[in-house]
Chain A
Amino acid sequence: MSQATLTRKQTAYDPEAPAAAPPPNATRTAVLKALGYSALTVFALLYLFPFVIQIGTSFKTDPDATANPLNPIPSNFTTAAYQQLFQQDFGLWFTNSLVVALLVTAGRVFFDSLAGYALARLRFRGRGAVTLAVVATMAVPGVVLLIPKFLIIKQLGMYDTYSGMVLPLIADAAGVFIMKNFFESVPVSLEEAAKLDGAGVFRTFWSVVLPVAKPALITITIIAFQSSWNELPHFLVSRASPETNTLTTGVAGLLTGALGAGNRYPLKLAAAVLMTIPVALMFFVFQKRIISGSLEGAVKE
C-alpha cells in the first residue's frame, strides 16, 4: 500500500459517523461505550506514561531519578540536566542534525517530485523500465546496505563529510512514488493549457504543476524531515569524527556510556526530550495544515 493510497483512504475515515444501525437498547450501548473508552484509556496510559516519566525525570536530580522512578514529579525541580547537555557538544549535534535534515528534505522534495512528475506524465522511452527499477530498489532491505554504503562512501572520498551524510539520502524511491501517484490523480487540463501557451516542460512543471501539488509536497516534506532527523545507521557508516556527530549518533554515544559516566538518567532523558521536540512540533503543526490543505483542494474542485 502506498502512502498516497493510505492517505486517500483515510479521507473516508469519520469516527463520528452515525451508527449504522439504531441501538437495540440504550443501557447496552452505554455499557459498550464505557468499555470502549476504558480500553482506549488503558492503552493511552500505556502509550503516554513513558513520555510523562521521560519529561518529569529530565527535570530531576540524579539521586531523585533513581530513588523515585515511578513518580514523574521532581521533588527538587532542576534544569541542571539541560545545562549539562549544552556544556557538552549537544548544540553541535543539534546543528548538524538540522543542517542535514533540511538539506535532505529540500533535495527529496525537489528531486522526488521531478522524477514523480516525469514517471506520471512525460512519455519517454524507458519510462517503464525506470519505474520498475525504482520499485526494485525499494525491495532491498536497508540493513543489507549498511556495510556496502560504507564501502562506496569511502571509495568516493566522501567519508566523514557532509556530502557523504547528505547525498545518499537526497532522493528516495518511496517519495518518488508518492509524487507519481499524486500527479496521476491531477487532471491534465491545466498542463495542456500551459503547453498551448508555449511553456517548456520545466516551466510547466515548476509554475503550473508544483503549486497544485501542495498536499503531496507537505506529505513528503514531513516524511523526509522526520526520517532524516531520526536516521541512525546511515550516520554510523558515513562518518566518524566527533565534529560530524548528529543528534542520533551523539545521544547514542551518550547512552552507551562513551560520554556519560554513571547512570545520569536525567541527562540522557533530557537529550531524548530535546531531540523529540522538533519532530513532535512538526507532527502536531502539520496535522492541521494537512487537513486544511485538503479542504482547500475540495473547495476549489
Chain B
Amino acid sequence: MRRGGSARAAETRSGWLFVSPVIIVLGLFLVAPIVIAFWVSVSDWNGRGSPLSSGVSFVGAENYRQLLTEDSLTRSDFATSLRNNFYYVLLVVPIQTVLALALALLLNQRRLKGLSFFRTAYYFPSVTSSVAIASVFLFLFAGGGSVNALLGIFGIDGPQWFADPRGVLHIALGWVGIGNGADGPGPVALTSHDFLGLSWWDWLAGPSVAMLTIIALVIWVSAGGYMLLFLAGLQNVSSDVYEAAAIDGATRWRTLRSITLPLLRPTLFTVLTLGLIGTWQVFDQVYIMSKGNPGKTTLTPAFLSYDQSINNGQWGSGTAMSFVLFGIIVVFTAIQSLVLRDRDPGSRGRFGRRRAVQPVTPPNSMQPMGPTT
C-alpha cells in the first residue's frame, strides 16, 4: 500500500513537471495577455509606462461606450471595417466551402488514377507563407498584371484592382438605376440615416473591387486545406453504402444528394465553423496587400485594432475593438451552429459531444498528406 502511494506521488510529481512548460508558455503568452488586454480596454492607459502601474485607473465601459456610441472617426472607421469584413465573410465562407467540397468530390472518384498529384497541387498553397502568396497576387492583379492581360484577350478592360474603392453592390445598384453609380451620391433616403456613424447607403456598398482581390486570394489558398477535411470525411463513408445504393439503382447525382452530403454533415459543420472563425480574423493579407486602402474599403477590425493601438497609441479603443471582434466571432459561430444543428437534431448528441472533446485544428497549419499512423 505504502509503495503504491509513493509511486502515485511520484507520478503526480512527474505529471505536473511534464505539463508545466506548456502551462507556463500558454499561461504567460495566452491567458495573461488576455487579462492585461481586458484591463487596458477598461482603463485609461495611454501607452506610456506599464498598464499595471498605479497611475492607470479603471474607467469601466468608457472605451466601449466611446467606440460604439460617440460620433467620431474611430467609430466610423470601426463601422467601415465591420462592413468590409462582413461582405468578405459572406463571399469567402460559402465559396471556399463549395470549392473545397467540389475538389474533394473530384479527388474521391474511385475510377481515376494519379489523384495524389492533383491533391498535392490543390493543397500546396495552404502550406506556403501568406507573404509569398500575397506577393504573387500583387503581381497577378496589378493594373498591368496577368489577370488584366487575360481579360484583355477577351476584350475586357480590367479595373485597377488595388486602387479601386468602388463597392460592387453600389456598381450593381447603379446599373438598375438606384443611386448614381459607385462614384455619385446615393439616394437621400439611404444617405440621411446612419448606423454607427456610417450611412445606410455606405453599409450597402458591398465589397470594394480591391477587396475582391483579397477575397479571391483567400478562397484560392484556403480551399485546399478544407478539401483535405472533406476528403477525410468522404473516406469515412463506407463503400458498403455506395454498393447498396448502386444495387438499388441510384444515379450518381442521387447518391451524392441522399447519401454523401448527409453523411458529410459533421465535416461541413467543422469547415463552416473554422471558415467563420478564420474569416472574421483576416489580418495578414490586409497588412501585406492594402493596409486598409483604397478609401478604407479593405480595412478589417483585426487590422484596425492593430493599427489603432500600435501605430496610433489609442490602446483603450484598440483593445476594445479586439474584444468586440471576439464577441462577434462567438455570436456568429453560435448562430451558425444553431442553424446547422436544428435541422438535424439526431446528430446533436453524438457529434456535439465528440466536438467538445476533440479539439479542432485549423487547416491552415500543414496537414500531412499521407497516412501517418
Contact = CB atoms under 8 A, between A and B. Distances in A.
**A and B physically associate:** yes
Interface stretch (B56-64, B144-152, B168-176, B177-185): B144-152
Contact of A229 (B129, B302, B325): B129
Given A2-B358, A140-B30, A233 B370 contact: no
A255 B288 contact: yes
Interface residues of A, number: 129
A247 B130 CA distance: 11
A167 B30 CA distance: 12
Contacts of B11: 122-124, 201
Interface in B95-123: 103, 106-113, 115-118, 120-122
Contact of A115 (B19, B242, B368): B19
Interface in A138-189: 138, 140-152, 155-156, 167-168, 170-171, 173-174, 176-178, 182, 185
A83 B229 CA distance: 41
Contact of A233 (B220, B283, B315): B283
A37 B306 CA distance: 45
A91 interface: no
Q: Which secondary structure dominates chain A's binding surface?
A: helix
B163 to A, nearest CB: 14
A15 B116 contact: yes
Nearest to B15: A124
Given A9-B235, A174-B361, A294-B372, A227 B111 contact: no
Nearest to A291: B370
Interface in B175-213: none
A216 B29 CA distance: 25
Interface in A214-233: 215-216, 218-219, 222-223, 226-227, 229-230, 232-233
B373 A223 contact: no
B287 A297 contact: no
Interface stretch (B65-73, B76-84, B131-139, B338-346): B131-139
Contact of B25 (A57, A171, A177, A255): A171
B371 A290 contact: yes
Contact of A155 (B36, B231, B267, B283): B36
B103 A43 contact: yes
A121 to B, nearest CB: 9
Residue among A20, A176, A256, A268 with most chain B CB within 10 A: A20
B334 interface: no
A39 interface: yes
Contacts of A13: 231-232, 235, 371
A300 interface: no
B301 to A, nearest CB: 9
A144 B323 contact: yes
A128 B117 CA distance: 42
Contacts of A3: 361, 365, 367
A126 interface: yes
A39 B106 contact: yes
A294 to B, nearest CB: 5
B367 A142 contact: no
B135 to A, nearest CB: 4
A155 B97 CA distance: 41
A39 B115 CA distance: 12
B159 interface: no
Given A151-B36, A152-B36, A1 B229 contact: yes
Contacts of B124: 47, 51, 280, 283
A40 B163 CA distance: 34
Given A33-B112, A130-B19, A147-B319, A256 B302 contact: no
Given A143-B281, A272-B135, A223 B37 contact: no
A297 B370 CA distance: 14
A185 B36 contact: no
Given A173-B359, A216-B373, A50 B18 contact: no
A21 B86 CA distance: 46
Contacts of A202: 14
B15 A127 contact: yes
Contacts of A118: 14-15, 18-19
B277 interface: yes
Contact of B128 (A10, A48, A230, A263): A230
Contacts of B277: 141
Contact of B136 (A51, A126, A146): A51
Given A32-B111, A114-B19, A185-B373, A47 B122 contact: yes
A36 B326 contact: no
B25 A6 contact: no
A176 B22 contact: yes
Contacts of B34: 140, 144-145, 148
Nearest to A57: B139
Interface in B282-296: 283-284, 287-289, 291
20 contacts: A7-B372, A13-B235, A13-B371, A15-B109, A17-B239, A33-B111, A36-B111, A37-B112, A43-B106, A111-B22, A114-B19, A115-B23, A124-B16, A148-B319, A171-B22, A255-B134, A269-B139, A275-B131, A291-B370, A297-B373
Interface of A: 1-13, 15-21, 29, 32-33, 36-37, 39-40, 43-44, 46-48, 50-51, 53-54, 57, 65-66, 69-70, 111-112, 114-115, 117-119, 122-127, 130, 133-135, 137-138, 140-152, 155-156, 167-168, 170-171, 173-174, 176-178, 182, 185, 200-202, 205, 215-216, 218-219, 222-223, 226-227, 229-230, 232-233, 236-237, 247-248, 251-252, 255-256, 263, 265, 268-269, 271-273, 275-276, 279-280, 283, 286-287, 290-291, 293-294, 297
Q: What 4 pairs between A and B have smallest CB-CB spacing?
A: A148-B33, A124-B15, A118-B18, A148-B37
